[in-house]
Structures are given as structure tokens and as C-alpha cells.
Amino acid sequence: MWLYLVALLGLWNLLRLFRERQVVSHLQDKHVFITGCDSGFGNLLARQLDRRGMRVLAACLTENGAEELRSKTSDRLETVILDVTKTESIVAATQWVKERVGNRGLWGLVNNAGIAIFAFNEWLNKQDFAKVLDVNLLGMIEVTLSMLPLVRKARGRVVNVSSVMGRLSFFGGGYSISKYGVEAFSDSLRRELSYFGVKVAIIEPGGFKTALSSNDRVSPTIKMLFDQASSEVKEIYGEKFLSSLNSLMETCSEDLTLVTDCMEHALTSRHPRTRYSAGWDAKLIYLPMSYLPTFVSDALVYLSSVKPAQAL
């Protein structure tokens, strides 16, 4: 009996591997629009797809970021300035994309742009939450809705960058909230667009060293948020959290290709996955923890995290 089960599992994995290795044809004719290409995952993915011969339309927040990306890629890659928090910027970028893809439509939309604030909830105010949600969730939704007619025309792909913190929330602030929202929006979008032959994939990276998680950016931001908190909150939480969070960032992986390879597969495979977990920590720690009973996952998070001063 067990032998049959093992054989069946082995055959299923072989079939899955065979299906996932099948590549979409005529990649050199397909356009992919990527947000957040100034640095990190978006920048690396743009260069990766450009080397593969695809027509990359890279959206950057700054002209310096766009200029630097163009200097490292072929003439096929084109850039546009995009602020996902501004409707007029999204409308202009959509028209720009439409002029370039023509009747072929947009094969791939990669919603990668994002920001992060990691802190205890009590350190923050409403504006701190809104700032993150405006980029990571609402901006992503507006870009998607604006580009959907072009993607539907090509029967293409939507790739949304979520996070393991969209499955298991370790810190306060708007980051996890936004990523839980990305998961929900992507699920509903996938089911709706399946009728039109459009596939939607979610990328769930673990801890990676990008501009969002670099100590040069995280440390000053966390210190600023702690300083803006009331004296009572400072006394309750203490400053131990600051150094501990910075230490946690040092454990992040520097190999960003673990994420961009997942993105590339979602765009180029004939049978992409619904979800991609990128990084050993995502696969071996965070994803399994998300399936544990709540009291077990809560206990593990509690034991591994820093407690407020008055809880020690």
C-alpha cells in the first residue's frame, strides 16, 4: 500500500516538473511592465528579462534610477517614471504602455513597488499605516485595474509581490496588513481572470536584503518612529527592540535571484504556479508556521521576538 502511494507521489512530482519546464513561445515579442525598478527585485528582474530577449517596460520612481537601469541593459528596455500613489501618474504610464504594446496587449504585469515600516503598532499613528497601504496595496490595485484591459488582450500574466508576512504577521505597522491585502486581492483577481485566460501568480519572499530591509534605511526609520512615540510608550517598550530588529535584518539573504527566478518562471512558464515561496526561511520556517494552530505559532513568535521592557 505504502509503495503505491510513494510511486503515485513520485509520478505526480515528475508530471509537475515536466509541466513547469514548458516555456511560452515567442518570448522576444512579449512586453512586460514592472513597477519599482529603481533597485532590488524590480531592477534585477528587468535586467534578467532583458538578457532573455523580452521587451521590458520598466517603471522607476526617479529619473536617476531609470538612467542607471538603462545603462546596464539593451536598447530594447524602456523606462517610464511612475509614482503608484498618484492617479495621474498611473494614467500617464498606462497610456505610455498602450502606445508601445499596440494590438498585441501586455503579456506581463509585475506589481513589485513597495515600502516597509517595521515597528510596534503603539509607536505609530494612522498616517504611518496609510503611507504603507497607499503604496503596497492601493497603488498596486490601481495600477492593476488600469493595466488589466491590456493584459486581458494578450491573455497574459499578473505577478503580485506579497511576502511571508502576508501569511504570518511578526511586526506591527502597515506592511503585513498590506501584504495580507495583496494575497486577498490576488486570489479574487485570479478567479475572475481565469475566464479570460489570464493567470495570476503571487510571490512570497522570505527575508532578503533590499533597499527596504537595509540597515541604512531601516535603522534611522525605526529610531525616528521610536522617538515620535509618547514618553509613556518609550518607557513601556524600551530601546532594546531597536538593536534587536537591526540584528534581524542582518539574517536576510543577499541572493535576490531566488525571488526574481520565481518571477521569471511565473512570466515565462506555460503552467506557472499560483504561489511561489522564495528563500529557505520562507519554505522551512514561515510557510510551515502559517499552517500551525494559532496558539502554537503565537508561542513560537513570542519566544523568538523581543518583548516590551515591562513584559520582561
DSSP string, 184-229: HHHHHHHHHHGGGT-EEEEEEE-SB-STTT-HHHHHHHHHHHHHHS
The residue range of the domain holding 101 is 23-211+254-299
CATH of the domain at 170: 3.40.50.720
Residue 4 lies in a domain: no
Q: Is 155 left (phi over 0), alpha (psi -120 to 50) or beta?
A: left
Active-site positions read 175
Positive or negative torsion for Cα 82, 43, 34, 222:
negative
User: What pLDDT was estimated at residue 224?
Assistant: 66
Q: Is the distance from CB of 189 to CB of 144 less than 8 angstroms?
A: yes
State the total domains in the chain. 1
pLDDT along the chain (312 residues), means of 10: 72 72 88 96 96 96 95 95 97 97 96 87 87 96 98 97 91 91 97 96 89 56 64 64 59 86 96 93 90 89 65 50
Q: Do strands 108-111 and 31-34 pair parallel, antiparallel, or not at all (unpaired)?
A: parallel
